[in-house]
Structure 1
């Protein structure tokens, strides 16, 4: 599994097998591709993703348990780990 980050137009941290799958998840869940998504989406390392994801507040405004973060990172499911707070 790889990790991808998009900063513009809306932030997202995505776990996917390929950049194309990450782009598809982004356009299905976060925002449409305005033609620049391929340039905006960057692969990041697992440690970076782990730290970033572990610092994101839950809906209850608490940090998630580290066991939950590690479980999400190690699962084989492609998913959006973090989205821009303005989308909620």
Structure 2
């Protein structure tokens, strides 16, 4: 199954790859914030190319860009996952 990509802006930014809105909420609560009752209207579907462009421009813990081969490998891994979230939450 092809994954879909979603952005959440508030209360904390996240870019998530998942199969459904329910899965997005689960991943968001696990990695970003355990806020109860995040609404479907707070979750925005985004095109794959938009998600890829955001992801390949991300940086590691040291502020360095990920090597493109690693970024592409991570992005195209078939499992649902969080792709981006605020560094201060790490």
Q: TM-score normalized by structure 2?
A: 0.87
Report the aligned-residue RMSD: 1.3
Q: Which of the numbers 11, 30, 33 marks the counterpart of 1:9?
A: 11
CA contact (8 A) 2:18 2:24 kept: yes
SS of 1:81 mapped into structure 2: strand
Aligned-pair CA distance for 1:17: 1.1
Kindly report which structure 2 residues correspond to 1:29-44, keeping only aligned pairs within 5 A, or say none.
Answer: 29-44=31-46
Matched pairs, number: 88
- Gaps (5+ residues) in structure 1? none
SS of 2:58 mapped into structure 1: coil
Aligned-pair CA distance for 1:31: 0.7
- How many angstroms apart in 2 are the aligned matches of 1:56 and 1:73? 12
SS of 1:4 mapped into structure 2: strand
Q: TM-score normalized by structure 1?
A: 0.89
- Gaps (5+ residues) in structure 2? none
